[in-house]
Chain A
Amino acid sequence: MTKELSNKVINLKPSGIRKFFDLVSEMNDVISLGVGEPDFDTPWHIRDEGIYAFEKGKTFYTSNKGLKELRTEIVNYIKRTQGIEYDPDNEVIVTVGGSEAIDIGLRALINDGDEVIIPQPSYVSYEPCTILANAKPIIVNLKAENEFRLKPDELLSAITPKTKVLILPYPNNPTGAVMDKNDLEAIRQIIIDNDLYVLSDEIYSELSYKEKHISIATLVGMKERTILINGFSKSYAMTGWRLGYALAPKEIIKQMTKIHQFAIMCAPTISQYAAVEALKNGDEDVNLMRQSYNQRRRYLLNAFKEMGIECFEPYGAFYVFPSIKEFNMTSEEFAKRLLEEEKVAAIPGNAFGQSGEGHLRISYAYSLENLKKAMERLNRFVTKLRINVKINV
């Protein structure tokens, strides 16, 4: 073939994580801190329900928007956790992971040339999905001194007459930052004054360690302009089941459903039956996993404190985002040397946007024993670096 492939796709930058993955996969005995998914197996009663669904022959398509029973349970869940009501028939769609919801949500909102505000560091798919939808990504570089929360002045200075959508990724991957009610209230009026849509990616909502997660959709005047995205991957340790959902006003869900209908048809049926069980009887599993993550979070923060590594206290997701600026290396250099010299894999912060430079994303979706071993190695590494600095001085 001589005809060119899609320029838009060719020009997409490959994910920065990919590069690092290739490096890691060539090595043996690596302790990885680089995983963005829970270490727990899906709770057994949920898996069991999936097996029953197979046995009962639930092997056909569901309706495009997903099983009615599941949509009803999703709506109930949002009502009991956030206190807001959605119509299960018209205001919710079950998707293939939160990722699909991000993609079709953006595509349903955007016209050519619209601008989408993306706070970074953040998950790697917002920018490419924006570009693929023919919109212009406007990056807001969040600051460590604000604990990577989006501040009103940062939002204001990114807005132009073309701004259409604000992506709000909290609790945040990779920083672990959360936006509490005051933080959200501080940007609410700006969003309304500029008539923006909000795509709120709340996939880590259940993993909030300070207070319960609050969705921006609960704020006055926000529900009618918000696509609330969540899913089963992080809260119920169901990444491989590929199941997420979006809640939004009827007109938006209607358009998203069209894309979903033509591109996907429906989310996996077996997963949907298992997810019904997760929402009905899974609260206790979520509590136990949250408790366990929280212990590891405290363990890591304490380990960094003892090593003298600067790290703000993150209250969400399962990541800490320590600063490695004192070592005068880029994140990539640091991560590469840590991997080569101590066989510990942590993802360089700049893989999630330029403002992540000078940081590492460290996941605590690992057993405490694993984290302990990794921290011993990290400690040895930074001690060596500091000694070398002294010698050079």
Chain B
Amino acid sequence: MRDELLSIIEKNSRIGLNELAVLLGTTEENVLKELETLEREEIICGYHTLINWEKTSIEKVTALIEVRVTPQRGQGFDKIAQRIYNYPEVKAVYLISGGFDLLVILEEKTLREISNFVSDKLAPLETILSTATHFILKKYKDYGTVLSKGSEDEREIITP
């Protein structure tokens, strides 16, 4: 049940217990128990909403920042990652294999705020060797969902 439950609520966290129980062929109590276990085990870490901000009047600029750092003795990348992710404007920090070490996703209202963050907060950190900032121009697909697709059912309305 666990995998199927997760795959349903990953796409629709608003779904009710009753409906989950029907879809999974089990009882509401079982679903609730499993959800609580998943939360306790921190497998479920939150219930977020996927918003296409481009369609709102709220301005948001997203940047992907490649960061090269010097790993610190005994702490590897964890300490520097923590210093970065503690900033609330940082949406995500990933340790990456390849040409750089950390990928930082930053969300701000304006380009200037992003550049200030990089020049004032990120670049001066002493273990950081270099940064490269990429701005997102358009989001086509996010979290497995194609944004603004509006596809229609192209099937014949009745078929045998």
User: Residues of A at under 8 Å CB distance from B?
Assistant: 15, 17, 20-21, 24-25, 30, 32, 34-37, 39, 123-125, 173, 291, 294-295, 298-299, 302, 345, 347, 351, 368
Contacts and interface: CB of A to CB of B under 8 A. Distances in A.
A34 B158 CA distance: 5
Contact of A37 (B19, B23, B155): B155
Interface in B121-160: 153, 155-160
B32 interface: no
Given A35-B158, A294-B25, A302-B22, 18 more contacts: A17-B159, A17-B160, A20-B158, A21-B156, A30-B157, A32-B158, A34-B159, A35-B156, A35-B157, A39-B153, A39-B155, A123-B160, A124-B160, A295-B8, A295-B23, A298-B22, A347-B158, A351-B160
Contacts of B24: 295, 298
Interface string B1-21: 000100110000000000100
Contacts of B7: 291
27 contacts: A15-B160, A17-B159, A20-B158, A21-B157, A24-B158, A25-B157, A30-B157, A32-B157, A34-B158, A34-B159, A35-B155, A35-B157, A37-B155, A39-B153, A123-B160, A124-B160, A291-B4, A291-B7, A295-B23, A298-B22, A298-B23, A298-B25, A299-B22, A345-B158, A347-B158, A351-B160, A368-B23
A36 B22 CA distance: 24
B68 to A, nearest CB: 34
A-B pairs, top 9 by smallest CB distance, nearest first, are A34-B158, A295-B23, A21-B158, A302-B22, A36-B159, A32-B157, A124-B160, A17-B160, A298-B25
Nearest to B153: A39
Contacts of B22: 298-299, 302
Nearest to B157: A32
Nearest to B12: A368
A42 to B, nearest CB: 12
Nearest to B155: A35
Interface residues of B, number: 15
Interface of B: 4, 7-8, 19, 22-25, 153, 155-160
Contact of B159 (A37, A125, A295, A299): A37
Nearest to B23: A295
B83 to A, nearest CB: 40
A24 B158 CA distance: 8
B160 A36 contact: yes
Nearest to B156: A35
B4 to A, nearest CB: 6
B62 to A, nearest CB: 26
B157 A34 contact: yes
Most buried by A among B153, B157, B158, B159: B158
Contacts of B23: 295, 298-299, 368
A369 to B, nearest CB: 10
Contacts of A35: 155-159
A32 B158 CA distance: 7
Contact of A345 (B25, B157, B160): B157
A39 B23 CA distance: 18
Contacts of A124: 160
Contacts of B153: 39
A298 B24 CA distance: 8
Contacts of A299: 19, 22-23
A287 to B, nearest CB: 11
A17 B158 contact: yes
Contacts of A25: 157
Nearest to B159: A36
A347 B157 CA distance: 11
A350 to B, nearest CB: 13
A35 B7 CA distance: 26
Contacts of A345: 157-158
Nearest to B25: A298
A34 B7 CA distance: 28
A125 B160 CA distance: 9
Contacts of A20: 158
Nearest to A361: B160
A388 B158 CA distance: 30
A385 B66 CA distance: 65
Nearest to A99: B160
Contacts of A32: 157-158
A24 B24 CA distance: 33
A295 B23 CA distance: 4
Contacts of A36: 159-160
B41 to A, nearest CB: 23
Nearest to A365: B155
B30 to A, nearest CB: 14
Nearest to A301: B22
